[in-house]
Amino acid sequence: MAIGNLAPMIHPNRAAPAADPEQERLLAAQAGLVENEAEPLNCETPASALGGEVTPTTRFYRRNHFPIPVLDKTTWRLGVSGMVERPLSLGLRDLMRLPAETAVVTLECAGNGRVQFRPPTPGVQWAEGAVGTAEWVGPRLADVLERAGIRRGAREVIFGGADRGTVDASRQPIRFERSLTVADALESGALLAYAMNGEPLPARHGYPVRLVVPGWYAVASVKWLTGIRVVEEPFNGFFQAAHYVYERNRGGTTRAEPVRLSRVRALITRPGSGRELACGRLIVRGVAWSGAAPIERVEVSVAGGPWQKARLVGLAPVHGWQQWEFLVTGLGPGEVSIRARATDLAGQVQPERPEWNRLGYGANFIHEVQLLLR
Ligand SMILES: Nc1nc2c(c(=O)[nH]1)N[C@H]1C(S)=C(S)[C@@H](COP(=O)(O)O)O[C@H]1N2
Ligand SMILES: [Mo]
């Protein structure tokens, strides 16, 4: 990497103050989120609080690797550097003057569902609520890259966040950085989002600007974006090459494949697991999504019975989850389990048992709720 590429990485946001961790915990608890880790705060939405076209921002899951930086829009700059014809330094107003796109996009943490892997895998033990859908607004990443002009021979685009910290005691503090290939950066439909559900992004979700990469596991959607660097070499950062990879051992050799698109998955949002309900009829509701393709079908199995097709409700946004519902009749008293599984138009169906991998990613287990009927 040329020395010149480093310059824009030294930005005024380095010494950004951090959000108060106790206040963040309190707000999350008040919104009914489940805390999996206190500092940095990692909390998820109970499945029963999901559903609807978008997730209210207060209830949107939070996944942080480092303390939350509180950035100042008057000094914040987004640098575009490296293998570009015209390096850029953009302020929030500059970005807001560009044509904006609005997209409803589901973001899911690649570790969602990890708690179910056996043997257990390290990392935050997410159940199934590290997922949410929001309406995002901002210019297209491709437009900004076009303005800068990607030079021939460029291979990847690295996105740097303003947050930093240590990932293990023996190492220096690092930033949160992720890359996309030039083709993915231009063709994924990624946005430089400054609004979430009609409001400026809150600090915890990446204020003032985050990347939103539709269809990809949310690790690609870098929050608190301050630097975009176009490079010639594959990026080997910690969150790119050491983590967020499916690591599998085959015949004694370890292979690592990067986490990319969200795997197909359905969640039952109503009724919530553990509920006591009256016998008879019951409407089961949920959401389903897949990074690869739209949802083709959702099936429900009651008390271990056959898979039956649920009704898809409305037309889902291209990259937002599909709502669905299913009417169950003739329920007698006692405990009953209800399961739901999704299939996408690419032909991928949720597996009975997602493939175990060392770091516990892509755990798209079939969701099951237990009910007590009286
Ligand atoms: N700068 C920065 N961006 C980040 C992260 C982070 O820790 N720092 N976490 C990533 C991961 S793993 C996820 S799942 C999503 C979570 O976004 P949210 O907290 O807005 O739900 O942000 C991604 N972008
Ligand atoms: Mo994540």
Q: In ligand 1, which atom is closest to the CA atom of 161?
A: 1
Asked if 60 contacts 109 with a C-beta cutoff of 8 angstroms, the reply is no
CA distance 15 to 6: 17
Residue 214 Cα to ligand 1 midpoint, Å, equals 14
CA distance 104 to 309: 25
Residue 12's SS3 state is: helix
Residue 61 Cα to ligand 1 midpoint, Å, equals 10
| Among the bound ligands, the one closest to the CA of 362 | 2
- Pairing verdict, β 62-63 and 42-44: antiparallel
Q: In ligand 1, which atom is closest to the CA atom of 244?
A: 12
CA distance 366 to 354: 9
Query: Residue 4's CB: how many other CB atoms inside 10 A?
Result: 10
Residue 110 Cα to ligand 2 midpoint, Å, equals 5
Residue nearest to atom 2 of ligand 1 (CA): 223
Asked if 327 contacts 310 with a C-beta cutoff of 8 angstroms, the reply is no
CA distance 91 to 136: 19
Residues with CB under 6 A from ligand 1: 60-65, 109, 161, 163, 176, 205, 218-219, 221-224
In order along its 374 residues, the chain shows pLDDT tens digits of: 333 333 344 444 556 899 999 999 999 999 999 999 999 999 999 999 999 999 999 999 999 999 999 999 999 999 999 999 999 999 999 999 999 999 999 999 999 999 999 999 999 999 999 999 999 999 999 999 999 999 999 999 999 999 999 998 778 999 999 999 999 999 999 999 999 999 999 999 999 999 999 999 999 999 999 999 999 999 999 999 999 999 998 889 999 999 999 999 999 999 999 999 999 999 999 999 999 999 999 999 999 999 999 999 999 999 999 999 999 999 999 999 999 999 999 999 999 999 999 999 999 999 999 999 99
Query: Residue 271's CB: how many other CB atoms inside 10 A?
Result: 17
Note the pTM of the prediction, 2 decimals. Answer: 0.95
